[in-house]
């Protein structure tokens, strides 16, 4: 990997700051002054100001977030955060994307900033599937405005999405909806735009990565295959 990425992944500083350290001659590789763009790996002897830098391996988890937790590393209002559900010895881990306080479901937690950027950047259109429970009955035709793109609060028109009913009765209807963007409270605003109030909102998939077998509030490490899958989404 490039030297600035190596240094940033090791916790030295941001990539931009690492570039500055390289330009100032404070970084060496195998005893020689490093240059911008130099490729290195974990077998190389990398030093900053004469101190050896050890590449830290990234951590990757999947968390089944319950309601009542915010997706943040801290909260100045004293509310519970998803960090309260995670082990305390995993380094600078943080949530990828957000689920609001009243929503639950699949959340990726990682120390890998590059992967987080890939999964959340709108241009990558990573599909995210939600289980939505709304009050009362609903017909497939009622979901057509959502599928086509609908104007929500603020005048924004959502992208086309997939949506279908999985269960319905007089009391409630359950819908699976898959979107490829991540505007703040987007799914809630989409259903509000068609006059439907959400009783439950749960993210159940990111791409093909699912919550299968993971209890509410529980977490597990991602497998190598799952990490590779997310990197290629």
Q: Which residues are tagged catalytic?
A: 100
* Region at 50 (left for phi over 0; alpha for psi -120 to 50; beta for the rest): left
Kindly list the distances between the CA atom of residue 178 and the CA atoms of 16, 126, 226, 229, in Å, as whole numbers in the listed order.
36, 10, 20, 18
Cα–Cα nearest to 61, from 104, 7, 115: 115
Cα–Cα nearest to 133, from 184, 167, 106, 91: 167
Kindly list the distances between the CA atom of residue 177 and the CA atoms of 89, 128, 151, 206, in Å, as whole numbers in the listed order.
36, 8, 17, 12
């Amino acid at each position: 990997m490039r030297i600035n990425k190596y240094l940033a992944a090791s916790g030295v500083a941001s990539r931009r700051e690492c570039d500055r350290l390289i330009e100032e001659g404070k970084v060496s590789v195998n005893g020689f002054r490093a240059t911008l763009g130099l490729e290195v790996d974990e077998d190389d002897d990398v030093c900053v100001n004469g101190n050896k830098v050890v590449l830290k391996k990234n951590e990757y988890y999947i968390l089944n977030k319950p309601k009542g937790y915010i997706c943040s590393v801290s909260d100045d209002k004293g509310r519970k955060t998803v960090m309260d559900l995670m082990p305390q010895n995993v380094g600078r881990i943080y949530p990828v994307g957000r689920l609001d306080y009243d929503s639950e479901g699949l959340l990726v937690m990682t120390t890998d900033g590059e992967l987080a950027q890939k999964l959340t950047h709108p241009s990558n259109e990573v599909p995210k599937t939600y289980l939505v429970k709304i009050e009362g009955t609903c017909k497939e035709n009622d979901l057509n405005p959502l599928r086509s793109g609908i104007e929500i609060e603020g005048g924004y028109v959502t992208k086309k999405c997939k949506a279908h009913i999985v269960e319905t009765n007089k009391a409630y209807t359950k819908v699976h909806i898959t979107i490829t963007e991540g505007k703040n409270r987007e799914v809630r605003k989409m259903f509000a735009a068609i006059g439907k109030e959400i009783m439950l909102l749960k993210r159940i998939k990111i791409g093909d990565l699912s919550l299968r077998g993971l209890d509410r509030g529980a977490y597990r490490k991602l497998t190598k295959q799952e990490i590779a899958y997310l990197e290629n989404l």
